[in-house]
Structure 1
Amino acid sequence: MSQWIECVPNFSEGCDEQVLNEIARVIRAIPEVYLLEVDPGAGAHRTVFTFAGKKNAMAEAAFQAIRVASEKIDMTQHRGVHPRIGAIDVCPFIPLEGSTIDDCIELACQVGHRIGTELGLPGYFYGAAASRLERKNLTSCRSGQYEGISQKLKNPDWLPDFGPAVFHAKSGMTIVGAREFLIAYNLNLNTDSVSIAKKIAAKVRSQGKLPSANRLPALKAIGWDIPEYGIAQVSTNVISFPQNSLFDVWLAVSKEAEKLGVQVTGSELVGLVPLKALLDAGQSFAKQQEQEAVETEFELIALATTSLGLGELRPFDPQKKILDYVLNQAIATSL
């Protein structure tokens, strides 16, 4: 059986199409690797690339993309609402059909050490590839962000896993790792108040100090604003979508928003989403809305798309956003 692996690097560039096109070009140049999506965000000044392929080719594709980003992106000029630690903020490998998390750890280590030796950039391993317990959490690795790197590298507990323990002003640091699939899911509010968005996020994320009836397991959440749309969002990472469905997150955020006098008006998916996640959401909405006739795959996806408001900020095309569809199409096109 072939070993399929996904890689979802996040680059700190959301506006310059020439830079993004060059990163895309070097990924496409690697045989047996399929570029599935490029999802830029101007407000976050960040772009999520999604590509997948055979294990033996994925490390090279990831490294070449990282090499171009390190050459083209200048962190001294970077401004954006999303937390980040460098030009190549994070590069996770995710197991797909026929592969395991151990395969992804192997690739993460290969790529990380090449970043350190060939590009001279420092960084950390996170997730399943973490070298120590406190580095499993991406937020911990990113703490202090780009602006705090110099101070962070003075701490013996935060010396890099690869590369020199020296601040690289142009590229910052990078975080490479292995993890299971997560869904980046942002919910739109009918307010531009970041304070309200942060209060809601604090009540739904899995780790929080405040008591909350709507706190969800395996969920990360922060509040921020999206100036290009004039709204605030609750930005979440659904760490385990079988444990938390998109419906669960939508419902929890909606309840907390209502308590503060605002509403969830829609939402967006950043990157690709597994087919099962939308089918599960569709089934939950069908039950909530007592729509017993909604049964087919097409109907469930349509109901989930409408109920979650996935097309509020920009058009949502299931054929371009569902991982299963996009990967199958990419493979069919290459044959």
Structure 2
Amino acid sequence: MLKDHVTQQQHMASCSVGRRLVACLLNVSEARRKELVETVARAALYNNKAGVRREGTTVLNIFNDHDYNRSVITIVASIDSIREAVLSACEEACGLIDMGAHMGVHPRMGAVDLIPIYPLGEEVGVEDCAKEARAVAEGLTERVQGTSAFLFGWADSPLQRGLAQRRREMGWFKKTPQLQAIRPDMGPQPHHPLGLTGVGASPYVMNCNVTIDTQDMAIARSIAAALRGSTPGGLPGVQVLALPHGGAVEIACNVESVEGGPPGGTERWPCFSIGGRPYCHVPASLITTRVAELAGGRGVGVKGTALVGFTPHECRRLAEIALAQGIAEFWKERGEVRM
């Protein structure tokens, strides 16, 4: 049995090398109509005109958040196939979501709010993902009339401005963004019902949300500020928002993969390599521990932690399984799949 398992793992690894896998964590501004979100996910998997499945493409996960009214769809394909899969999903989303009628506590500017593309191994470089991200942004603005986009990360050449900086520049963090004041990188002046989409590429960004047992936003914002990587003593690569959520507050973290090893080399962080360069990311367990310490010092407890999707290692491993077993709608069958 062990030999069979090892052989299967070797076969999946060999298949993944040939596929040159990348992931897109597509963020759409809808979660309360789950059937709509699944329709968007299936558009990435099936060629609607021909009615056939796109080979070598899988949707690993759909994360819906009712309060945010936002979903994250994890699409994995080869670097050569990701563009059409993502554009098809975006076209479907833009035809179904009206930003003029959107309600939710999470900041957002577009029906398709975010299109990040990440390499899932040594076989693909971030520069390859950046090229595809720019092509996706161009394709979106050409194929869906009225869409506009800004670029971030490696796709934002030559400046390579990060997502947080680009969002600040676009006014994404404001309660009521002024679309008429925005100058997009591609497409026309943003307007409802489609809004503005961020498109970019970088090493993998994990999403980790920790819920604290309070409704006091002042406490939550102080915890978020202390946690940020830009704060002295904060966690490297971590960007944080404090948002009302389910009668409590969620400390919502974007966890960027940072080049090199953990600071000081004393903590064991998950690591991987892209183009021969080492990257690592803060583990969710450390984020939870740090939030618990910061909240406990203010007399507040922690209610729980949720990963939006997967860690980089999990994403690649599950993609290898899904593609080796020919499972397109993996999010539906994951609990029944032989790992």
TM over 0.5: yes
* 2:169 matches 1:152: no
Q: Distance in 2 between matches of 1:197 and 1:262?
A: 10
Structure scoring higher RCO (CA < 8 A, sep ≥ 6) equals 2
Calculate the TM-score normalised by the size of structure 2: 0.76
Tell me if the contact between 2:32 and 2:69 (Cα under 8 Å) persists in the aligned partners: yes
Q: 2:208 maps to what in 1?
A: 185
Residue 118 of structure 2 is aligned with which of 94, 97, 114?
Answer: 94
Q: 1:128 maps to what in 2?
A: 154
Structure 1 residue ranges without an equivalent (≥5): 154-158, 276-321
Cα distance, 1:7 vs structure 2: 0.8
Tell me if the contact between 2:180 and 2:191 (Cα under 8 Å) persists in the aligned partners: no
Q: 1:103 maps to what in 2?
A: 128
Tell me if the contact between 1:144 and 1:152 (Cα under 8 Å) persists in the aligned partners: no
Query: Percent identity over the alignment?
Result: 28
Q: 1:194 maps to what in 2?
A: 217
* 2:139 matches 1:114: yes
* 2:326 matches 1:334: yes
Q: 1:17 maps to what in 2?
A: 34
Letter in 2 for 1:75: M
Residue 205 of structure 1 is aligned with which of 223, 228, 243?
Answer: 228
* 2:45 matches 1:28: yes
Please state whether the residue corresponding to 1:7 is helix, strand or coil. strand
Cα distance, 1:325 vs structure 2: 4.2
Q: Distance in 2 between matches of 1:132 and 1:148?
A: 26
Across the aligned residues of Structure 1 and Structure 2, the Cα RMSD in angstroms comes to: 2.0
Q: 1:306 maps to what in 2?
A: none
* 2:246 matches 1:246: no
Structure 2 residue ranges without an equivalent (≥5): 1-16, 47-53, 258-269, 271-279, 328-339
Q: 2:23 maps to what in 1?
A: 6
Deviations 1:205-263 (A, max 9, x none): 0124xxx6x52221111111113xx2211111111262422232222211111111112
Cα distance, 1:85 vs structure 2: 1.3
Please state whether the residue corresponding to 1:8 is helix, strand or coil. strand
* CA separation of 1:235 and 1:220: change in aligned 2, threshold 3 A: same
Cα distance, 1:185 vs structure 2: 0.4
Q: Distance in 2 between matches of 1:19 and 1:265?
A: 30
Tell me if the contact between 1:198 and 1:223 (Cα under 8 Å) persists in the aligned partners: yes
Q: 1:38 maps to what in 2?
A: 62
Residue 294 of structure 2 is aligned with which of 246, 256, 274?
Answer: 256
Q: 2:163 maps to what in 1?
A: 137
Residue 50 of structure 1 is aligned with which of 52, 70, 74?
Answer: 74
Structure number with the higher strand fraction is: 2
Calculate the TM-score normalised by the size of structure 1: 0.77
Q: Distance in 1 between matches of 2:35 and 2:213?
A: 34
Cα distance, 1:79 vs structure 2: 1.4
Q: 2:250 maps to what in 1?
A: 233
